[in-house]
Structure 1
Amino acid sequence: MQNLLSLAHQATQHLTDKALSQLFQQPIFILSAPRSGSTLLFEQLIQQDHMWSIGNESHVVFSQFPHLRFANGEQDSSSLNATHADARTNRLIKACFLFMLQNKQNQRYIDPKLTGLPKAPIFIEKTPRNALNIPFILKIFPDARFIYLQRDPRQTIASLIEAWHLGIKTGRFATYPNLPGWHLPAWCFLLPAGWRQMIGKSIAEIACFQWQQSNQTIEYELAKLDPNRTHRLDYYDLINNSHTTLCKVIKFINPNHDISTLSFKLTPSNTTLTRPDPEKWRKYEDEIMALKSIWGKKSRET
């Protein structure tokens, strides 16, 4: 979106920093490794009454801030911490979110024609990179709460492998097309610290590395928080016991929400590449099982 920062600034300049912050009380951030089903979860949640989002992932917002592309000038990772959230960035991130905020009818929160708006809309954000950015998120939104979605590592890694192959071929999932020293045409998805250890490695090894680093980082950061600020769920339950699982998620988000009339219809998310199948990972079984010493240990721990 062109001129997003300018438009967001103009739309929110009448708000003090305090007033802007008060519009984002206990925002919800979905955390997961890439290809764990977070898009499916996000799409279900933002179709519920009283839920607000920017309608998609926040890449368009982060792209407005060149200093947030990498952790540092050496391009060591895409991880962000509290030091990246200086006062200007802090305000403008919120301004962008508020400017783009919409409900399930695509009605924008800042639309002057809308009435009866909540003083503090329930804001839900989902971007895989959030897995590496929890300290940054907490600097901007100190009372943020988190939904942590996990998925069978074999399925997640297989989906990452599949998406990497497509990304290299088409650029669809390429986040860093010109990463210095990288042996492939592009880097896809989030960029954890230690990525240079993957130079020359197979796509399966890279996918496993991303899975491992995402989940380890999430576990480490969430362990610092009050457990009441987090809700964990498994992709298997989301798929096979969707109504009960999603009702629990919504009660976590808003304990006052009436779940008695809720209904859900799970359809493939807009990032699905091939027909969902729990055994689809076996296409890459040999490669994935060769890495079991990495993902198997993590699976037992969690």
Structure 2
Amino acid sequence: MSGSLQPSKHLQACPNLQALLGCVVPPLGRVCLFRQTGTASPASPLYQNEAHGLFYQTHFVLLTDTACLLLETETLTPPPPLPEGEEPGSSAGLFDLTGLPPQPLAAPEPIRLNVVPPRLAVLSPAQVGQYLDTVLTHCLPCLDEAGPQALTAYSESFLQRWQHDYVQFGDNYAGEWSYQSALNMFRDKLLPLANTAGKTLPTEDQQAVGQALKIITSQLNLFPPAPRRVNRQVLLKARRRQQFQVGSLELVPRFERPVFIVSAPRAGSTLLFETLSQFQEIWSTGEENHALLEDIPGLHPRDHGFASNRLEAADATGSVRGQLLQAFTGKLQDREQRYYLTLPAEQRPTGIRFLEKTPKNALRIPFIKALFPDALFVYLQRDFRSNVSSLIDGWRSQRFVAYRDLPGFASRHWSFLLIPGWQTLHDRNIAEIACQQWNISNRIIRDDLAQLPEQDWMGIDYHDLITQPGTLIRQFAAFAGLAWDQVIQSRCENGLPVSRLTLSSPQQDKWKKHLHLLNTLPVQAAE
């Protein structure tokens, strides 16, 4: 048996009983529910296990019409029967058994517990220093030329940085990303030198050095390696992509009612994009367009003082529109991955239906609408816990780094979209940053869409996308005016495939692995 304790289906059907148990401060192990009649004795305990320590029997009364419910944990001896003549629903009989004076029974009030913040398991600077001494003692004599000097310098630099972070954060989760950055430097610079020297050591010394290195690098090992399948798919798709230089707007087709997917990052937009791109009329770049857009002068956050990824209608100048259309056209492909510019000129459609998905566009709706006045938007929403949990995974995987060495975020990399107010999060942990990314993205999307006509956008819930894709995709087809064919029909009937950017196997309750962090977030974040 493994995993967390879960309520049985019978307990789930009794909300009042759950509320009663929820008021208990001490932890409850195993609870039995008995219905007692007349002078009958309660049933014997289900089993006893002395290795589990001392158990206390506790009686809880749940208000019922005519019956008293007795809940007991494991006991060494069964409680005595009720006195003769007492009805099971009599509170006086129960209080006689417990030695407490009778008192009116009231509905229990929930007890709010103070949540102890989770703590990081990191080595102290003294411990890190000891392991580094082991590495230096064995490895320095085995290095030639500048090797010893470099290994010593990297070790001192790493230890100084670790000391700085430890003084600032200790074992607080707010320091997770800073510690991780230090470990990245350790792996990139110090580890290769130590491994090179270690190859020439005797077996016993190799084991000592290897153990020291493993202990240091295994810290914050909070995220498993990505499945090789995912990495291979991404690489193969990247190799197939091409980009053609479009030197004239004459080569650019008309972008008619383009569709933009907007959502918080890690909300499932890649899955939705890969599904919608199977419509016959749809053309896309086949990927997210971060660099394509930010390479255009005036659109990178640095051009706005790194305020955020927010772009307004004023940023949509004629020059920007022309450059963006040319860049999109250079990467256009249909559902069969045929590039627009590789088709014979007579086969290229003069007008296309374009689909685009870049999570940063959650902050760019006014900009997009100014560029494409007839643009349509699909707003994808995902449950707070699942979405934030996936963001935490993404941050820890270090595969979604958007910006490096942001001003005010020394030695820290920023993942996903850069939200307004990010500067105030420099001392927050990854869960809090992910929470703010979810909150602010969804709030800005809702506020911006509220300024548009209702016929210009539709909402999609991620859970519905997973559980009833056929119904949802048909609704989208009607909304966007796209034809339904066998390709999209088969896609929906066979079940939507796992997105190529999925980090781990889909599971409905994956978010629970981050429950200790999610519980520390403000309640209003989930609203």
**Same fold, judged at TM 0.5 (above):** yes
Match of 1:216 among 435, 443, 454: 443
1:283 correspondence with 2:519: no
The alignment partner of 2:298 has SS state of helix
1:127 correspondence with 2:363: no
Match of 2:389 in 1: 158
Which digits, 9 at most, give the CA deviation of each residue in 1:32-62, with x for residues without a partner?
0000000000001112212110111112311
1:33 correspondence with 2:289: no
The alignment partner of 1:100 has SS state of coil
1:7 correspondence with 2:265: no
Which digits, 9 at most, give the CA deviation of each residue in 1:265-289, with x for residues without a partner?
4111111001111100001112113
Match of 1:237 in 2: 464
Q: Please, which moves more after superposition, 108-117 or 56-65?
A: 108-117
Aligned partners of 2:244, 2:475: CA distance in 1, in Å?
39
The alignment partner of 2:526 has SS state of helix
Aligned partners of 2:331, 2:413: CA distance in 1, in Å?
29
The alignment partner of 2:341 has SS state of coil
Compare relative contact order (CA 8 Å, sep 6+) and give the higher one, 1 or 2. 1
Please show how residues 74-223 of structure 1 align to structure 2 within 5 Å. Answer: 74-113=305-344, 115-167=346-398, 172-182=399-409, 185-223=412-450
Aligned partners of 1:183, 1:282: CA distance in 2, in Å?
31
Aligned-partner residue type, residue 145 of structure 1: L
Aligned partners of 2:345, 2:505: CA distance in 1, in Å?
40
Aligned residue pairs total: 283
Q: 1:84 to 1:218 in 2, by over 3 A?
A: same
Match of 2:99 in 1: none
Query: Post-superposition shift, 1:25?
Result: 1.4
Query: Post-superposition shift, 1:263?
Result: 2.1
Aligned partners of 1:49, 1:286: CA distance in 2, in Å?
45
The alignment partner of 2:342 has SS state of coil
Aligned partners of 2:464, 2:378: CA distance in 1, in Å?
14
Query: Post-superposition shift, 1:6?
Result: 8.8
Aligned partners of 1:73, 1:64: CA distance in 2, in Å?
14
The alignment partner of 1:88 has SS state of helix
Aligned partners of 1:191, 1:37: CA distance in 2, in Å?
19
Query: Post-superposition shift, 1:251?
Result: 2.1
Match of 1:300 in 2: none
The alignment partner of 1:250 has SS state of helix
Which digits, 9 at most, give the CA deviation of each residue in 1:93-142, with x for residues without a partner?
01111221110111122334265544321100000001001111111111
Aligned partners of 1:247, 1:228: CA distance in 2, in Å?
16
Q: Which has the larger radius of gyration?
A: 2
Aligned partners of 1:14, 1:92: CA distance in 2, in Å?
13
Q: 1:250 to 1:184 in 2, by over 3 A?
A: farther
Aligned-partner residue type, residue 162 of structure 1: D
Match of 1:258 in 2: 484
Q: Please, which moves more after superposition, 38-47 or 178-187?
A: 178-187
The alignment partner of 1:29 has SS state of strand
Which digits, 9 at most, give the CA deviation of each residue in 1:64-116, with x for residues without a partner?
22421117442111111122222211111011112211101111223342655
Aligned partners of 1:99, 1:259: CA distance in 2, in Å?
27
Query: Post-superposition shift, 1:213?
Result: 0.6
The alignment partner of 1:124 has SS state of strand
Match of 1:267 among 497, 515, 518: 497
Q: 1:184 to 1:246 in 2, by over 3 A?
A: farther
Aligned partners of 1:260, 1:214: CA distance in 2, in Å?
35
Identity percentage over the alignment? 37
Q: 1:84 to 1:152 in 2, by over 3 A?
A: same
Match of 2:291 among 40, 47, 60: 60
The alignment partner of 2:245 has SS state of helix
Aligned partners of 1:141, 1:260: CA distance in 2, in Å?
30
Q: Please, which moves more after superposition, 195-204 or 283-292?
A: 283-292
Aligned-partner residue type, residue 255 of structure 2: F
Query: Post-superposition shift, 1:250?
Result: 2.1
The alignment partner of 1:121 has SS state of strand
Q: Is the 8 A contact 1:247 1:259 kept in 2?
A: no
1:43 correspondence with 2:274: yes
The alignment partner of 2:458 has SS state of strand
Q: Is the 8 A contact 2:244 2:331 kept in 1?
A: no
The alignment partner of 1:14 has SS state of helix
- TM-score normalized by the length of structure 1: 0.87
Match of 2:474 in 1: 247
Aligned-partner residue type, residue 269 of structure 1: S
The alignment partner of 2:250 has SS state of coil
Query: Post-superposition shift, 1:245?
Result: 1.1
**Two-structure CA RMSD over aligned residues (Å):** 2.2
Q: 1:64 to 1:71 in 2, by over 3 A?
A: closer
The alignment partner of 2:377 has SS state of strand
The alignment partner of 1:107 has SS state of coil
The alignment partner of 1:277 has SS state of coil
Aligned partners of 2:442, 2:302: CA distance in 1, in Å?
19
**5+ residue gaps in structure 1?**
298-302
Q: Is the 8 A contact 2:249 2:322 kept in 1?
A: no
Q: Is the 8 A contact 2:279 2:484 kept in 1?
A: no
